[in-house]
Amino acid sequence: MVLSKAIEDIRDHQGFICDMDGVLYHGEQLLDGVREFVLWLENSGKRYLFLTNASSYTPLGLKQRLARMGLVINESKFYTSALATAQFLNSQAPGCSAYVIGDSGLHHALNEVGISMNEVNPDYVVVGETRDYNYDKITRAIAFVRNGAKLIGAHPDMTSPSEDGLIPAARALVAPIELATERKAYFVGKPNALMMRTGLRMLGVHSSEAVIIGDRMDTDIIAGIETGLTTVLVLSGVTSRNRIKTFPYRPMYVLDNVGKIVGK
């Protein structure tokens, strides 16, 4: 198969930052061409990182999840918004405390950098996606923010895909707290440049040598544009070709899935 100039340009990059949900898998199923794409990354000596806004999982949890699908990837290849949030808070206020609405990935990341859980007078209220979300937790978060706690969102995604369709993500869960307190949250995950710069440092490549592959225009693609990466939108996730036209910016390349990069 003769590769198009677009595919050749993508393949010529040294660093690959890839989203996960909608790019690698849906639910518990790998998407077409993912095995071949990851094998190509390994065999070609590319530097790659799976960078996700999902804050529920630890890198080990993500490794185990993909292993259940038959794809073995070292946990060092994963970087999440939970890790980025923990790194941000630790840089801002080492040894601070937080009231956390989120799953184990977010709790673990914060604990690892010495941020303590506080349900009395926290310095921060931190919100990530979780199914364990209720009126009592919202009420407590609102009280803490009104008393001076800073409001942090792990990432700004309003929804995330699931086997049951789109479900509320971190921004949707933060919204009631913002409305009730009239305070705006600071969101750490994509498209925040903090997370992107960390990813590039982990890869050890310059932005001009890297490509970002994602399925969302409002996080993956805008993050790549603002950080100076080559941008590739795949149509295997939440964005359709017609939907692209509604945004005031464009990806450099649009592919059906990551397998197209390796001819699958």
Q: Which residue is catalytic, options 19, 103, 123, 220?
A: 19
Q: Which residue is catalytic, options 12, 21, 103, 123?
A: 21
Q: Quick check: 194 and 80 in contact, CB under 8 A?
A: no
Closest CA relative to residue 19, chosen from 159, 190, 168: 190
Mark whether 21 is an active-site residue: yes
Phi-psi group of 45: left, alpha or beta (phi > 0 → left; psi -120 to 50 → alpha; rest → beta): left
As a whole number of angstroms, the longest Cα–Cα distance in the chain is: 63
Please state, in angstroms and rounded to a whole number, the distance separating the CA atoms of residues 175 and 141: 12
Please state, in angstroms and rounded to a whole number, the distance separating the CA atoms of residues 220 and 23: 11
Mark whether 103 is an active-site residue: no
Phi-psi group of 69: left, alpha or beta (phi > 0 → left; psi -120 to 50 → alpha; rest → beta): alpha
Residue 135 CA, chain-centre distance (Å), reads 26
Query: Which residues fall within 8 angstroms of residue 163, CB to CB, at 6 or more apart?
Result: 26, 27, 28
DSSP letter string, 206-244: -GGGEEEEES-IIIIIHHHHHHT-EEEEETTSS--HHHH
Please state, in angstroms and rounded to a whole number, the distance separating the CA atoms of residues 32 and 11: 18
Q: Give, rounded to a whole angstrom, the gap between the first and last alpha carbons of the chain.
A: 10
- Facing residues of 162 across strands? 165
Residues designated catalytic: 19, 21
